[in-house]
Every structure is written in C-alpha cells, then in structure tokens.
Amino acid sequence: MSAVADRHVVADAEAKSASAKPSLFSRALPAWAQALPLALVFLVFFLVPLALTVMVSFWDYTEYSLVPAFTLRSYVEMFEGCYDKLPDLCVTLKTYLSTLKFCISVWLISLGVGFFIAYFLAFHVRTTTMQVALFLVCTVPFWTSNVIRTISWIPLLGRNGLVNSTLVKAGIINTPIEWLIFSDFSVIVALVHLYTLFMIVPIFNSMMRIDRALLEAARDSGASGWQTIWNVVIPLSKPGIVIGSIFVITIVMGDFVTVGVMGGQQIASVGKVINTQMGALQFPPAAANSVILLVAVLFIIAALTKLVDIRKEL
C-alpha cells in the first residue's frame, strides 16, 4: 500500500518538475544574462586572439609576407640544432634558461620579501587605517610609467649613481661597481621592486583570515615566534603564497620591457625574442614562440595548483 502511495508521490513530483521546466528556464535567464558581458569580453579579447596566435604559429612566411598554410616551420626553426648541439645549448634553450633563471630568482626574492611585509601588515599593524596607508606605500612603484620608473634607476644604480658614489666616498670601494646597472642584478632588482606587491596582496589576504586565537594557542603551547610562523602561519598562508607565485611567475616569464631596459638590451629573454621577431614582422615564429611560452607557463601553474586547491580559497 505504502509502496504504491510512494510511487504515486514520485510520479506526481515528476509531473510537477516537468511542468516547472519553463519557469526554471526563465529563472535561469537573468543569471545567464549577468554572466554574458564578461563572457563576451573574455571571448573577444582573450579566446579569439589566442586562437589567432595558435593559427598564425602554423603559417608560413617570407621576408615580406605571411603565407596562410599549415606548416611546422616556425616550431622546427625554433628548436633547430638543439638536439645536435647537446650538451651545448642552442639559442632557444639558452633564452628559456635565462628567462627561467630570472623567474626563479625574482620569485624567491619576492616571496621572501612579500611574505614578511604581508606578515608585518597583517599581524603587527594594529589599525586598519595604518594598514591601508602602508598598502598605498607598497603601490608607489606603480604611480609612474614603466619608462620613467626604469630610467629612474640610472641615477641610483649607474656608474656615477648614488649607490656607487656613496660607497666610493665612504671608502668601501675604490672604483665604482660596474654590475649595479645593465646587468642580471639590475634586472632582478627592478622586477622584485615591481612585482613584490603581487605577492603581498594575496598573502596578506590569506593571513587576515587566520584567527588570531590560533597564534595565541601556539604561544600557549610553547611555540616560539619562528615556530609559530613555520607551523601555523605558513601552512595557513599557502593559498596566498601560491596565488602570488602564479602572478609573479606569469608576469616575469613574459616580461621584455624591464629585462630590455634594465639589462641594457644585452640580456635575452623569451619576451624579448618575441618582441624582436614581431619588430621584424616575422609573425609566425613570434606566434610559435608565444605558444611554447604559454605552454611552459601553464605547466608551472599546473604544478603550483597541485599544491593547493585554489578554488576552495576564492
């Protein structure tokens, strides 16, 4: 009897949900409409250009024209001789290695600096007003254009710049240090100066979610300051650390302006190569290079997201 009644109820419910379908659709419509503008922007300004880049990377080219085709020429030329020359590195691999070297240095330094600035802002600055004020100070590097900012390094780090002249006058060195500017050092300094903020913001955000009672609980259990940072703060800031790392790594991997100017146009980077090829109107190789760079960056991001479930944190 009750089974029959149940079946009846189920059938009833099915009939109801069938008749409810149009209303469900009309309820979903506003939601789709709300998502539409961003989806369109995403499509037109991201997916379409990306598809075009991939397409062009397979085209053929001459000195003065692009030839629509499907050829692997650009990819083959990019890695030409890479295998034969081993253990010596071909130009492409050298460029990638150099870019990766900058990327890792800048990532490590900005992670170290960014973590402790975020830690200071989150746990030592007590008032929100002061936090906001100090955050604004962190954004100072972005208050001026890239060109002016980069040029401003010259009076500071140049051969006769502030640092060198101070060191000479103080008698610490006799002749100015040459590697302060137009060197790997200056590229790293400029990149760290710029992108540490991208590390600070997500890490700070993660840290602000940490219940202050946890730090007291750690202290109550006898943990020292460093033990608290290592055992409590770092594990709970991991999502921010990963998000910040993704920001910094993707930006630095593709950078060519800072590397160009601060490296005195003498240092190779993947972005710089793409930029040069574009300047020479060699679009297919530039596109192929971009695709390879994109794949490399995606691998790095995939590895990072293995460390933490970012969706859970957003």
Partner 1 sequence: MSGSSLELAALTKAYGSTVAVDAIDLKVPANTYCCLLGPSGCGKTSTLRLVAGHETATAGDIIIGPTNVTELPPAQRGTAMMFQSYALFPHLTSADNVAFSLKVRGVPKAERRASAMDMLGLVHMEPYAERLPAQLSGGQQQRVALARALITRPQILLLDEPLSALDPFLRIKVRAELKRLQKELGISFLHVTHSQDEAMALADLVVLMNGGRIEQAGTPREVFNAPRTAFVAQFMGGHNVIATGSGPIAVRADRVKLRRAGEPGRLSGTVRGIEYQGTHLQVTLASPDQSDLTALMNEAEFDAVPLKPGETLAVDWSEQDIHRLNA
Q: Among 28, 127, 112, 61, which residue's Cα sits nearest to residue 286? A: 61
Smallest distance, partner 1 to C-beta of residue 269, A: 37
Interaction site with partner 1 (CB under 8 A): 211, 213-214, 216-224, 227, 231-232, 235-236
Smallest distance, partner 1 to C-beta of residue 250, A: 27
Is 37 or 222 the residue whose CB approaches partner 1 more closely? 222
Is 104 or 217 the residue whose CB approaches partner 1 more closely? 217
Smallest distance, partner 1 to C-beta of residue 107, A: 23
Is 144 or 221 the residue whose CB approaches partner 1 more closely? 221
Smallest distance, partner 1 to C-beta of residue 40, A: 38
Smallest distance, partner 1 to C-beta of residue 215, A: 9
Smallest distance, partner 1 to C-beta of residue 298, A: 28
Is 162 or 214 the residue whose CB approaches partner 1 more closely? 214
Check: CB of residue 253 under 8 Å from CB of residue 82: no
Smallest distance, partner 1 to C-beta of residue 122, A: 17
Is 139 or 227 the residue whose CB approaches partner 1 more closely? 227
Is 165 or 227 the residue whose CB approaches partner 1 more closely? 227
Smallest distance, partner 1 to C-beta of residue 286, A: 45
Is 167 or 223 the residue whose CB approaches partner 1 more closely? 223
- SS3 letters across the chain: CHHHHHHHHHHHHHHHHHHHHHHHHHHHHHHHHHHHHHHHHHHHHHHHHHHHHHHHHCCEECCCCEECCCCCHHHHHHCCCCCCCCCCCCHHHHHHHHHHHHHHHHHHHHHHHHHHHHHHHHHHCCCHHHHHHHHHHHCHHHHCCHHHHHHCHHHHHCCCCHHHHHHHHCCCCCCCCHHHCCCHHHHHHHHHHHHHHHHHHHHHHHHHCCCHHHHHHHHHCCCCHHHHHHHHHHHHHHHHHHHHHHHHHHHHHHCCHHHHHHCCCCCCCHHHHHHHHHHCCCHHHHHHHHHHHHHHHHHHHHHHHHHCCHHHHC
Is 171 or 222 the residue whose CB approaches partner 1 more closely? 222
Check: CB of residue 241 under 8 Å from CB of residue 115: yes
